[in-house]
Amino acid sequence: MLAISARSDFAPPHDDPLVTMRRLSFSRGEHRIFRELDLTIPRGKVTAIMGPSGTGKTTLLRLIGGQIRPDAGRIEVDGICVHELGRKELYQLRKRMGVLFQSGALFTDLSVFDNVAFPLREHTRLPESLIRTLVLMKLEAVGLRGAHALMPSQLSGGMARRVALARAIALDPTMILYDEPFAGQDPISMGVLVKLIRTLNDALDLTSIIVSHDVKETAAIADYLYLISDGQVVEHGTPQDLSHSASPWVDQFMHALPDGPMSFHYPAPPYETDLLTGTPS
Amino acid sequence: MMASLAELGRFALDRLARLGRANLFLLQLLRALSFLFRRPGLLVKQLHAVGVLSLPIILVSGLFVGMVLGLQGYANLVDFGATSSLGTVVALSLIRELGPVLTALLYAGRAGSALTAEIGLMRATEQLASMQMMAVDPFPRVLAPRFLAGCIAVPLLTGIFTAVGILGGYLVAVVQLGVDGGSFWAQMQAKVQLLADVGNGVLIKSTVFGLVANWIALFEGYQAQPTSEGVSLATTRTVVDTSLAVLGLDFLLTALMFGEW
Amino acid sequence: MKQKNLELAVGLFVALGLAAFFMLAIKVSDLSSLGNDEGYRVTAHFENIGGLKARAPVTLGGVRVGRVVGIGLDPQSYEAVVTMSIDPKYDRLPTDSSASILTSGLLGEQYVGLEPGGMDSYLKEGGTLKLTQSALVLEKLIGRVFTNMASGESAPPKTP
């Protein structure tokens, strides 16, 4: 796939990556989540980061967004080192990022319209008539213009996620981060979301990062895949590359086999000793 | 023995750390308050939530407390032929103690717990995180308006509670028990002082209680584990901690304000 | 529309709260106590003030004219010094007025009662009431009665 021309306000070379992570380490308490992770996200493409549950995929997004800081290593977004920024600069950077949270995270006390208008009202001094136009445009893009008067509690899960998507693109961000966009969706709304993510990426000239464990849907739209396990990148490449990978681990993950190198069992002492000791260790 | 000692130490350290976090939280809240000068509209919605919606319980409770004070005061004073000072008894107990304390306790149950649950759920459903990712700081946008609205609402509610309570006492004493209405008000006016009683009791006490109640409520919500269990625990803790803090502070303030009399 | 209603309700709430404070100020408390400090100060020495407390009323002919603002002890004479603040609208109290500590009712509170004198000069800020009558202390009174009875005098005891 051809790299889409970069936005004029930074004018970087075409193959300039948007996000780079170098030797990134992060641990939460005793638990090491990333060890010297290296990852590059190309501009203008849909990049998916996949891996089994509990591998810290969401943590990765929070690192990119600067909500948490790495223990060691470097994360650069558009050439800016995220974790060295002060609060003000970080907030400036975040205005160029849209994030779609797993739950949608719509403000429950605001209507659909006000939810989408929220970032516009907070960050711009646009007149209300213009905000209305912009909000209706964003809602039209996700196909929910008719639902602008509803409250979040009246929306289905898939609709809530689409409204959240409209809100995430309200400020015309450079990049958009999706946290498990397909989790818990019925097949139809899954299909809608898959199509939306792809269309928005191409139409709005975005860079999309998807964190997911839904292999089929993610592979269908991603230009590039990263597989993470045990704190490191296990494999990366285009979806075609990966589905024909020689690695048994990748094979297990991509084709959803129950057992393989990635054990079905959580690490435990030998079964017999555990049963014979009588008390859990 | 050693284990229980270590347990005690851990408990103390845990409490201390919590207190430190709470203080930092308050500092951040206060710093965020100036934002409200630019967006006073945010305050209106929260004043409605914590103030207007608390009115019914405050009105009803105030009326009943005042009426009970009237009845009990009458039963005691009638033996000394001093029923004419019933107004003083009712007014002073309401103004100095019952008004501020009961309002704060009712507020913690009605509005404080709701604040905790709201903030806790906003965290649990990633609303605060998404706000941060939209480059909007939740302190000025979400927490500060609630804090300031609460701090304004509690003194107003206390004033209303006290006034309604005195009216309730009047109803029982004058209308029902036949105490002379003129001396009810006159004795009250002779004894109740604007600054020393109304100022200290209603105004200062309720301001302090309002600050503490809202601080605890918002802090608990912000600190809550983002699970349904965590939020319910935080809500309970808001009511318990606020009640204890209000009663303890009330003793301190009373000793400072009225101790010498 | 919705926002309008909200604002209306909040406005009413604030107005109600302020009205409550207004009522507490006007109807319940003595608003004039605010202007207490504007009164002029007068001191009086008493041998014994009994249970007199600061903020006790000062009356003349049963009408309150001021408040007790301070109670101290004169280290030389060992007499109690009572400072009173008298409402400036009662500025024509003769300098030879007398002050006594009285009790309202049998169990009531103690207060300072003034008796006007006959001089033409009036009390001013910092003035002193020379003629005073101490509080009636029940124990002393009873003690006096017993002493008088023992010494065979039938005349009723004079107040100290």
Name the β-bridge partners of C63: C60
Domain edges within chain B:
41-256
Vertex B226 angle, CA B225 and B227, to 5°: 95
Mean pLDDT of chain B: 91
- Residues of chain B positioned with their CB less than 8 A from the CB of C30: 189-190, 192-194
The per-residue pLDDT for A3 is 41
Say if residue B167's pLDDT is above 90. yes
Could you list the mean pLDDT of each consecutive 10-residue stretch along chain A, which spans 281 residues?
39 64 83 84 88 79 85 86 85 87 85 91 88 90 87 87 89 88 82 87 88 84 86 83 76 74 71 72 49
Minimum CA–CA partner of C109 in chain B:
B191
> A162 CB contacts (<8 Å, ≥6 apart)?
A142, A143, A144, A192, A193, A196
Partner-chain contact A105 B141, CB within 8 Å: no
- Residues of chain B positioned with their CB less than 8 A from the CB of A123: 135-136
Interchain contact B/A (3 or more Cβ pairs less than 8 Å): yes
Angle between helices B144-170 and B41-50 (to 10 degrees): 40
The minimal CB distance from B190 to the residues C6, C30, C105 is found for: C30
Subunits in contact with chain C (3 or more CB pairs closer than 8 Å): B
Interface test with C, best of B47, B53, B194 (most C CBs within 10 A): B194
The per-residue pLDDT for C158 is 52
Quickly count: other Cβ atoms within 10 Å of residue A241's Cβ. 13
Say if residue C129's pLDDT is above 60. yes
Order across the sheet with C57-60: list the strands: C127-129, C40-46, C79-86, C63-74, C57-60, C110-115, C98-103, C131-133
For residue range A142-170, list pLDDT tens digits in order: 888 888 888 988 888 888 888 998 998 88
d(CA C87, CA C71): 18
- Residues of chain A positioned with their CB less than 8 A from the CB of B146: none
Asked if C131 reaches chain B (Cβ–Cβ under 8 Å), the answer is no
The tokens describing C144, both together, are 């006096």
Subunits in contact with chain A (3 or more CB pairs closer than 8 Å): B
ipTM: 0.85
B201 — pLDDT class (breaks 50, 70, 90): confident
Is residue A41 within 8 Å of residue A83, measured between CB atoms? no
Domain edges within chain C:
1-32, 40-136
The per-residue pLDDT for A56 is 79
**CB within 8 Å of chain B, chain A residues 58-97:** 65, 67, 91-92, 94-95, 97
B121/A265: higher pLDDT: B121
Asked if C9 reaches chain B (Cβ–Cβ under 8 Å), the answer is yes
The per-residue pLDDT for B260 is 59
Partner-chain contact C31 B190, CB within 8 Å: no
d(CA B239, CA C88): 50
Lowest mean pLDDT among A161-170, B125-134, C38-47, C48-57: C48-57
